[in-house]
Structures are given as structure tokens and as C-alpha cells.
């Protein structure tokens, strides 16, 4: 693929991602995407033969990007408290298209690989907790699955509060929410600090 073709394809993917996130699969119009990208209908079909193919390409890119971000957070040598803070800030500041799409709702194609990706992410988090136990950052008797589930509950709850913009809940920076969670998490699962 020539450089110009590659750039056009990438531009179409970026614009399509925005449209799918904003309007959903059924509300996304290929002609609008093409017009925004400066591409007529014919050349648009040169890159993607239909909306389903474009959608699946967008979802594949999103999965690659998300996997890379989680690997960067959880495979490093940071202590568990730093990893947890990074995860909470990332998950709460980044609205993944995968959370709202790809599961076959509202007429959209099913992207079966999403479930595999979610399982891989869960396992990355669990492995990080196990490694933290081995480094004596977390109690050895603590259940790694329980720790990861608590992290998920907190992040999904925080995202729900953000999404619904409850006016009676004060708005703190994400970092402050992350710090509060990590403090609670370490109080429950952390190893006692020696004086």
C-alpha cells in the first residue's frame, strides 16, 4: 500500500472511530465519514467494502491500542500501588469504544475477540497482584481474584458516577480518587509496614 493510501486509510479509521463512538453502529453513515475524510464514495469502498468491514477494522485497532496500554501499566516494574493508580486514572479518563460496542447490540457485528481481550486484561491485573504478593507488597493470604474484582467494581462505579454526573457528589481530580482507592486497597490487602 502506498504511503498516501495508508494515510487515507488511517484517516478514515480515526474518523470512523469517532462516528461509531458518537452515533453507534446503526447511526453511523459511510458517506458522512467519507465526506469528512475528503474521500468520495468510490475510493471509500476501495479501502473498506462496507460498513461492517470498516467497523471491524476500527474495533481491531482499538483492541491493539487498549492491549498495549494495559501491558504498559501492568508489565512494568512499578510497585502495585503505582500500577493501581495508573490503571484507575486510565480506565476513568479513557472511554473505550469497546465498552459500548462490539458485543452485537443494536444491529452491530459481534467482535468475539473482545471477550478474549478482556480476559487477557483481567489476567494481567491478577498477575500483577500475584507478583506484588511475591514481593511482599500484598498479603500472601489475600485472594488475587478478589483484589482484581474489587478494582473492577471501583473503576466501573467511578465511571458510572462520572457518566451520570451526579451533582451531589463533589468532583475531585481522578488522581485523588485513585489515591483514595489505593489507600483502601492497601489497608485491606497490603502487608504491614515495619516501624
Q: Tens digit of pLDDT for each residue in 67-96?
A: 999 999 999 899 999 999 999 988 877 766
Q: What number of other Cβ atoms are within 10 A of residue 73's Cβ?
A: 22
Beta bridge partners of 138: 190
Q: According to the model, what pLDDT value does residue 156 have?
A: 81
Tell me 49's DSSP state: S
How many percent of the chain have pLDDT more than 70?
85
Judged by DSSP in three states, 111 sits in: coil
For 42-57, what is the mean pLDDT? 89
Tell me 142's DSSP state: S
Integer CA distances (angstroms), 177 to 8, 34, 70, 86, 181, in order: 40, 41, 19, 11, 6
Backbone phi, then psi, for 60, in 5-degree steps?
-60, -45
* C-beta of residue 44 within 8 angstroms of C-beta of residue 34: yes
pTM over 0.95: no
pLDDT range class, residue 63, cuts 50, 70, 90: very high
* C-beta of residue 47 within 8 angstroms of C-beta of residue 4: no
Q: 145-167 as b/e, with b when 16 or more CB fall inside 10 Å?
A: eebbebbeebbeebbeebeeeee
Sign of the CA dihedral with 58 first, then 59, 61, and 66 last: positive
Say what angle helices 80-93 and 113-134 make with each other, to 10 degrees: 150
Tell me 7's DSSP state: H
For 108-112, what is the mean pLDDT? 82
Helix (H), strand (E) counts: the chain: 9, 0
Q: Tens digit of pLDDT for each residue in 116-149?
A: 999 999 999 999 999 999 999 999 999 999 999 9
How many percent of the chain have pLDDT more than 90?
53
**Alpha-carbon torsion, ordered 39, 42, 43, 48, to 10 deg:** 110
Amino acid at each position: 500500500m502506498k504511503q498516501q493510501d495508508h494515510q487515507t486509510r488511517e484517516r478514515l479509521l480515526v474518523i470512523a472511530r469517532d462516528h461509531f463512538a458518537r452515533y453507534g453502529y446503526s447511526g453511523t453513515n459511510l458517506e458522512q465519514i467519507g465526506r469528512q475524510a475528503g474521500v468520495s464514495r468510490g475510493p471509500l469502498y476501495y479501502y473498506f467494502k462496507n460498513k461492517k468491514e470498516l467497523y471491524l477494522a476500527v474495533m481491531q485497532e482499538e483492541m491493539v491500542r487498549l492491549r498495549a496500554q494495559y501491558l504498559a501499566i501492568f508489565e512494568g516494574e512499578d510497585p502495585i500501588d503505582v500500577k493501581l493508580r495508573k490503571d484507575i486514572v486510565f480506565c476513568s479518563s479513557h472511554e473505550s469504544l469497546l465498552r459500548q460496542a462490539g458485543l452485537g447490540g443494536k444491529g452491530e457485528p459481534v467482535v468475539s475477540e473482545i471477550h478474549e481481550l478482556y480476559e487477557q486484561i483481567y489476567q494481567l491485573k491478577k498477575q500483577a497482584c500475584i507478583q506484588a504478593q511475591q514481593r511482599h507488597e500484598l498479603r500472601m493470604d489475600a485472594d488475587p481474584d478478589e483484589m482484581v474484582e474489587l478494582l473492577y467494581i471501583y473503576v466501573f462505579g467511578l465511571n458510572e458516577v462520572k457518566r451520570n454526573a451526579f451533582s451531589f457528589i463533589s468532583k475531585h481530580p481522578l488522581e485523588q480518587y485513585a489515591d483514595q482507592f489505593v489507600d483502601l486497597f492497601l489497608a485491606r490487602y497490603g502487608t504491614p509496614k515495619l516501624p
